[in-house]
Structures are given as structure tokens and as C-alpha cells.
Amino acid sequence: MARTKQNDTCEGNIADRILHTLRIADRRGYGLSIDHLSKILVRGDVPEEEIIKEISAIPGVSHQEGIYCLKGKEALIPETRRRLLSNGEMSEKYGTIANRFASEYASACPFIRCIAIAGSVASGGFSEEDDIDFNIFVERGYRYTAYLFGILLSIKYSFRYRRKPLSKRAATPLLPKLICINVIWEEVEVLPYARQDEYLAYELLRQKPVYGLGFYSRILEENRWLESYFPQMYKNGMCEVEVRKTFFRRSLKLFFSNKKVSCILERVCREVSYRVWRFVQFSRRNNPEALERVRWVTEMQRPYALFGDRI
């Protein structure tokens, strides 16, 4: 009990922290279970029993079937519930696919400093029509080179899992998009981040680093402001995928060691990947749901969106 009172005094009372956390989740379009709330609560995790004791008395919160959301946002509950139930069946299968992609990606592209699984695979609300999201950290000057590598590798996965169902808002031409590179940060952008807000902190909390854990630890140390939002981020256990130091990887690193060559190829990769991205957007021209999703994601990612300056 003394510990709870200390938390209430130093970090805000639990009821306010629950509301704050639900507001952040609401911006992402879902509700939360008690289990998730206890683990991702703003200003630190608390035991589930403390959440249960407080949450029923908060007037601004609604709940059904174990899912909690802000009052007036009850429409989020059925979809959140469906995703949580689906995740139990799908998490192992698609988690394995995500780890395999991360391993192959890091083995092929020498400019990657860290790979983190993001989105619903990492947060525990995966549904089979979702794609697998990744957040990538790269050396300075290699954002679009790494992105184009990711696109090319993702085609292999799209073909392999071409029978996978896909939601309308994620529709792509020819093959389903299994892999989505959500955002790519250059190391100069994250040591530390210029943008420092609760929404970026939440994105980092909900991702799962699987390659470059040493570099990721450095990111956390250089961004101690994250601790004021989610101190639990600093005690999460992490496991790294196996990466092979292939001949191709070493050769590519040597080839790009010439700065003039790497600058030229980075510009080429930017234009090529942009044209691929534009082709996908053109294919969605009669799909307002997909186009709105792209606009929403781009706005959420500013100023780090890959083609935010061209929308």
C-alpha cells in the first residue's frame, strides 16, 4: 500500500494515468485489455489488481467483455476484442515470419543498425489480414538504400504468402503486402530524437527490437526523456535474431565505402523507391479507405515519414 501511495504522489494517481493511456491508444484506434493497460500504463507499469481496483470508478471509461476505452468510443471494442482473440492463433506464425525477414534483411543490408518489429505483431493485436510492420534504424546517408533493399526482399515474402488475406485499406497491386517498412530513422535523427512527445514514446514502447540491441540500448540512453512517459521501456527483455556476415554483405559495404558513389546511389534509390511507392498509391486511386490510411500514417510519422515531403 505504501508503494501505491508513493506512486500516486510522485507519478500521478492511477486513475489519471489510465485515462492518459487510453487517450493515447484511442488515437491509434483501439481499446485496451486490463493485461495491456497494466504493462503499458503511462509513467510505469502496475499490477493488474491495482488497475481493476481503480478503473471501474473512472467516469470517463467504458468497458465490455474485458476491453476498456474512452466513453463514447465503444465502437472500438468489438474490433479490439476480435484482434486480441485472433492474435492468440496468429502471433507465433507471423512472429516467426517477422524474425525470418529481419534476419535476412540484416544479413543482406550492411547499413542497418537496428531492426524492430512494430505494429500489431509486436503489440499483441495481430489479425491475419494485417501486414507485418518494421521500424528500421540505419547509418547516416543510407535511408533510401536500406528502404529499397527492404522493398526487394519483401517481394519474395509477398510471393511466398500470396494467398494471405489482406484488408482493403492495405490493398496493393499484383501481390499482397505482407511486409511493411513503417519508418526508417538515420542514426543522427535518434541520438537524440528532435521530436519528443508521448506518441513517439508510445511507438517505441510498443515495438520489439530483434536486431542491433546494443545500438537500441544506446538510443534509450540518449533519450532519457522517454523515461518520463514509459519507464518500463528500460527494463524490457529483448532477444536478437541470428545475422550472417555474408560475402554479399561485406562486398556491398566495401562498394559503398566510396562517399561519392554512396551519395549517388542513395539519390538513385530514393527516386526508384519513390516511384514504386507512387505506383502503389496510384493503384489505390479508387480506394479512399487505403488513401486515407496512408495520409493518417504519414501525419503520425512526421517529420520522419519516408516521402512526407512529397505528399
pLDDT single digits (tens) 49-66:
999 999 988 999 999 989
**223 and 145, same domain (yes or no):** yes
| Among 43, 74, 105, residue at a domain's last position | 74
Radius of gyration of the chain (CA): 20
Burial (Cβ within 10 Å: 0-12, 13-18, ≥19) of residue 227: middle
**Would you say residue 3 has pLDDT above 50?**
no
Taking each continuous run of H as one helix and of E as one strand, the counts in the chain are 13, 7
Among 115, 109, 118, CA closest to 212: 115
In this structure, is residue 84 part of a structural domain? no
**41 and 103, same domain (yes or no):** no
What's the number of domains the chain is made of?
2
**116 and 204, same domain (yes or no):** yes
Task: Kindly report the pTM of this predicted structure.
Answer: 0.91
From residue 238, alpha-carbon distances to 208, 233, 241 in Å are 7, 11, 10
For 246, the domain range is 89-310
**145 and 279, same domain (yes or no):** yes
**Would you say residue 311 has pLDDT above 70?**
no
In this structure, is residue 83 part of a structural domain? no
**Residues β-bridged to residue 64:** 67
| Among 39, 74, 109, residue at a domain's last position | 74
Domain holding 193: CATH number? Answer: 3.30.460.10
pLDDT value for 86? 76
**7 and 141, same domain (yes or no):** no
Q: Residue 296: count other Cβ atoms within 10 Å of its Cβ.
A: 12
pLDDT value for 235? 84
Segment 154-180, tens digit of pLDDT: 999 999 988 877 766 667 777 788 899
**42 and 135, same domain (yes or no):** no
pLDDT band at 11 (very low <50, low <70, confident <90, very high): low
pLDDT band at 225 (very low <50, low <70, confident <90, very high): very high
**Would you say residue 2 has pLDDT above 60?**
no
**Would you say residue 4 has pLDDT above 50?**
no
**152 and 241, same domain (yes or no):** yes
**Would you say residue 10 has pLDDT above 70?**
no
Q: What is the mean pLDDT of the chain?
A: 89
In this structure, is residue 46 part of a structural domain? yes
The mean pLDDT of 236-249, rounded to a whole number, is 86
**98 and 14, same domain (yes or no):** no
In this structure, is residue 288 part of a structural domain? yes
**132 and 232, same domain (yes or no):** yes
pLDDT band at 124 (very low <50, low <70, confident <90, very high): confident
In this structure, is residue 79 part of a structural domain? no
In this structure, is residue 82 part of a structural domain? no
**Would you say residue 285 has pLDDT above 90?**
no
Residue 26: phi and psi, rounded to 5, are -60, -40
CA–CA distance, 3 with 294 (Å, rounded to integer): 44
309 vs 258, residue with greater confidence: 258
**66 and 196, same domain (yes or no):** no
Place of cell 514509459: 230
CA–CA distance, 302 with 253 (Å, rounded to integer): 30
